[in-house]
């Protein structure tokens, strides 16, 4: 019965709640970083196809995701 533990409503609901909180915190952090930069990150990456900036933003997203996951865990 060890594999079925996560199907309990309280465990499943808690997991969904923590996932939503994590996504919300991640989104807020990304918006803050976007506002701190002197240009629009999305336009720079998508319209101007700035690969170097895309790599930096991806690394930042991974770092924020790791921090949020560690804080929730």
Task: Reduce the secondary structure of 5-66 to three states and give it as a string.
Answer: HHHCHHHHHHHHHHHHHHHHHHHHHHHHHHHHCCCCHHHHHHCCCCHHHHHHHHHHHHHHHH
Which DSSP symbol is given to 1? -
* Domains of the chain, residue spans: 25-73
| Tens-digit pLDDT string for the chain (73 aa) | 566 776 778 877 888 888 888 888 888 988 888 899 888 888 888 999 999 989 988 998 898 888 878 877 6
Q: Identify the sign of the CA torsion 49, 52, 53, 57.
A: positive
Q: What is the model's pTM?
A: 0.67
- How many Cβ atoms from other residues are within 10 Å of residue 60's Cβ? 14
- How many Cβ atoms from other residues are within 10 Å of residue 21's Cβ? 13
């Amino acid at each position: 019965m060890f594999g079925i533990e996560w199907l309990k409503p309280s465990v499943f609901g808690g997991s969904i709640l923590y996932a939503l909180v994590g996504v919300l915190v991640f989104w807020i952090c990304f918006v803050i970083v976007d506002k701190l930069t002197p240009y629009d990150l999305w336009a720079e990456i998508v319209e101007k196809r700035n690969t170097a900036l895309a790599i930096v933003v991806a690394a930042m997203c991974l770092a924020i995701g790791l921090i949020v996951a560690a804080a929730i865990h």
